[in-house]
Structure 1
Amino acid sequence: MATPEKAAAVSELRELFSNSDAAVLTEYRGLTVSKLGELRRSLGENAEYAVVKNTLTAIAAREAGVEGLNFDDLNGPTAIAFITGEPVEATKSLRDFAKQNPQLVIKSGYFEGKTLGEADIQKLADLESREVLLAKVAGAAKGSLSKAAALFQAPLSKTARTAEALRTKVEEQGGESAA
C-alpha cells in the first residue's frame, strides 16, 4: 500500500511530466548541494531540475502517458530536468554544466514523444535558439527581396544610363559640327 508521501510524490511528478515538453534524465552522483543549486539556476526559467526516486518516477511517467522515456535509465541517483517550451537553451545549460562538472552524466531524455539518447541531446544543445534561427530566416528573406528589387530596378537604371550617354554623345557631335 502506498504511503501518502509516495502518493504525493507520484502526483507531483505526474504533473511535472504532464506540463513539460521535454525531459532530460541525468545522474548527479558526487555533486554537492551548492553545485545542484548552481545547475538549477543555470537552467533558466523554462526548466525545473528535480531529484527523483526511480520507481516513483516510472509510475508517474506511465500515469502521465509519457512516451519516449527510456525507463532503463532510471537507475542510480537520478535527477530530471523538466523543460517547458523550447529545449535548446536548457540542454545547452546541461551540456555546459556537465563539461565543467564531470560528475553530472546526461543519460537520456524525451522530446515530443521521442526517445533522445545522449548524442541526440548533444545535437539538440548544439542547435541555435529558435529566435536566432528565425532571425537568420528573416535575414535571408530580406536579402532575397533586396536582390529581387535590384534585379527589377537594373533594366530601368541601365536604360537611363544609356539614354544619358546617347544624349551626351549627340551634344558632343552637335558641338563639333558647329565648329
Structure 2
Amino acid sequence: MARPDKVAAVEEIAENFRGASASVVTEYRGLTMSQLTTLRRSLGDGATYRVAKNTLVKRAAEDAGVEGLEQLLVGPTAITFITGEPVDAAKALRDFARANQGLVIKGGYMDGRTLTVAEVNQLADLESREVLLSKLAGAMKGTMAKAAGLFAAPASQVARLAQALADKRAEEGGAAPAEAATDSETAS
C-alpha cells in the first residue's frame, strides 16, 4: 500500500509537470544547500527547482503524460519546472552550471518532447522574448519609415518639379523686360 506522503508528492510533481511550459532535469551532486538556494534565487519567479526521488518523478511523469524522461532519471535528480519564460530559466541553469561544476544538466522536456543537453543549451542561447519583440518592433518601424518615404517621394518630386518650372518661368519672364529695355536704348 502506498504511503500518503509519497502519493501526495507524486501528485504535486505531476501537477508541476502539467502546469509547466518546460522542465529541465539536472544532477546536483556536490552542491551545498547555500548553492542550491542561490540557484533557486537565480531562476526567479517563473521557475521552481525541486529535488525529488527518481521513482516518484517517474510515476508523476507517467500520471502527467510526460514520456521520455526515464533515461534522464539516474542518480541524484532535481527538476526545474518552468512556468514563465523557458529561455530565462535555461540561461540561469546554464550559467550556474558553468560556475558550479556540481550542477549537471541532463536534458529536459518541452512542447511534448524530450530535450537533449544541446537543445537546452540552444534554448539558453536564444535572446529573451522581450528582446526579440523589441527587435521585431524596430525592424517593423524601419520598414514603415521606408514605406512612408517611398509613398511621399512622388509627391515631393512633383513639388520640386513644379518649383523648378516656376523658377524657370520667373527667370524667363524677368529676363524679357530687361532685354526690352536694352533694345530700346540701342535704338535711340
Q: Distance in 2 between matches of 1:100 and 1:80?
A: 19
State the TM-score, normalized to the length of structure 1.
Answer: 0.95
Q: Offset at 1:128?
A: 1.2
Alignment of 1:23-172 (within 5 A): 23-67=23-67, 69-172=68-171
SS in 2 for 1:37: helix
**Structure 1 unpaired stretches of 5+:** none
Aligned residue identity for 2:12: E
Aligned residue identity for 1:46: G
SS in 1 for 2:85: coil
Q: Offset at 1:85?
A: 3.2
Work out the percentage of aligned pairs sharing the same amino acid.
Answer: 60
Residues 11-42 of structure 1 deviation map (CA, whole Å, 9 limit, x = unaligned): 22111112111100000111110000000000
Q: Offset at 1:84?
A: 0.7
**Structure 2 unpaired stretches of 5+:** 179-188
Q: Offset at 1:97?
A: 0.7
> Number of aligned pairs?
178
State the TM-score, normalized to the length of structure 2.
Answer: 0.90
| Alignment root-mean-square deviation, CA | 1.2
Q: Provide the residue aligned with 1:10 in structure 2.
A: 10
Q: Offset at 1:121?
A: 0.5
Q: Offset at 1:138?
A: 1.9
Q: Distance in 2 between matches of 1:7 and 1:114?
A: 25
Q: Offset at 1:98?
A: 0.8
Rg larger in structure: 2
